[in-house]
Structure 1
C-alpha cells in the first residue's frame, strides 16, 4: 500500500532552543529512540519562509511559542546541506538525496514549559550546551550547538 502523504520538501530548519545560561533543549525521536536532537522540520510548502517553518516546528514539537514575549528567535543566516539518512529516504520524492537545513536559535526564559508531540518525540532534557552537543546524534546539530556561545542572543 502506498503512503498517502505528500513527499517532504528537502528544505528544513534546525532550531537550537536554549536559555540565557545556554542550557539547550534536546528532544528524543519517537521513531529512533537513541536519537536526541534539537527541533527540526521541513517546509510545509515551497513558498513557506524558513522563519515561518521554524515558528511552526517549534510549536508543533515542543508547544513553545517562538514569538511569545521573553523569547528571541534568531536566524543565523547559515545552512547545512547533507545527505538524507537512508531510513527516512522514503519520505522524499524519488531521486531526492540531499536536504538543505537553515539554522536558527530560540532563546527562552529558564523554566519554559515543554509539551512534546508524542507521535514525534518521547522525552526531553535541558542540558548544558557542551553536554547537549555530545548527546546529539546528528553531527550538524552538534556543530550548531557548539556555535551557540558565539551566535546566541545574550541578555544586555
Structure 2
C-alpha cells in the first residue's frame, strides 16, 4: 500500500523551461515528477532524489550541490478516487511536499516506460497550464514567482 505522503519535483532549466512527463496510465495527463515515500521514515529529499531517478533517469547526486531545493511548501489534497485502491482502506487524503531541481541544459531524459510515455520541455507558464493537477501548476508558478529576471 502507498503511503499518503508524497513529493512533487519541478525540474527546470536556467531558461525557465519546465520538464513535463505524460502518464502511461492516463494519456494526456501531464505532470512533474511525483511519488510517495517508500517507508514512513524515508527522508523527503531522499524520496525526491529517488523519484527523479526512477522517472527521468536523472541522477541528482551527480548534479552540482544545491541543484535539488526543498521549496518548504506542502499541500494536502484529496486523492483521485480512481487511484485510492493503491492506499490502505479509508485513506482519501495525501500530503505533498514540493521540491525544485535545476537541470543542466544538455540533460538526457530516460523515462520509466511503465510510468510515463513522453516528455517535453515547456516555458514555465505553458507547463503550469498543461498539468492535469492544479497543485502541480501552482508549484511551477510558485517556483518562478520570486525569480523574475
TM-score by length of 2: 0.95
Pair 1:58 & 2:52 matched: yes
**1:100 aligned counterpart, secondary structure:** strand
User: Separation in 2 of the partners of 1:58 and 1:83?
Assistant: 23
Residue in structure 2 matched with residue 84 of structure 1 by the alignment = 79
Matches within 5 A, 1:1-156: 7-70=1-64, 72-150=67-145
CA RMSD of aligned residues (A): 1.3
What secondary structure does 2:61 align onto? coil
Give the match's secondary structure for 1:134: helix
Structure 1 gaps of 5+ residues are: 1-6
Displaced runs of 4 or more, over 3 A: none
Q: Report what 1:4 is aligned to.
A: none
8 Å CA contact 1:12–1:42 kept in 2: the answer is: yes
**Residue 149 of structure 1, CA deviation:** 1.4
Shift of 1:70: 3.5
- SS state of the match for residue 90, structure 1? helix
Structure 2 gap segments, 5+ residues each: none
Q: In 2, are the aligned partners of 1:67 and 1:73 still within 8 Å (CA)?
A: no
Count the aligned residue pairs: 147
1-structure distance, mates of 2:120, 2:48? 20
1:151–1:73: structure 2 CA closer, same or farther, 3 Å change rule?
A: farther
CA distance in 1, matches of 2:115, 2:144: 28
Distance in 2 between residues matched to 1:8 and 1:39, nearest whole Å: 16
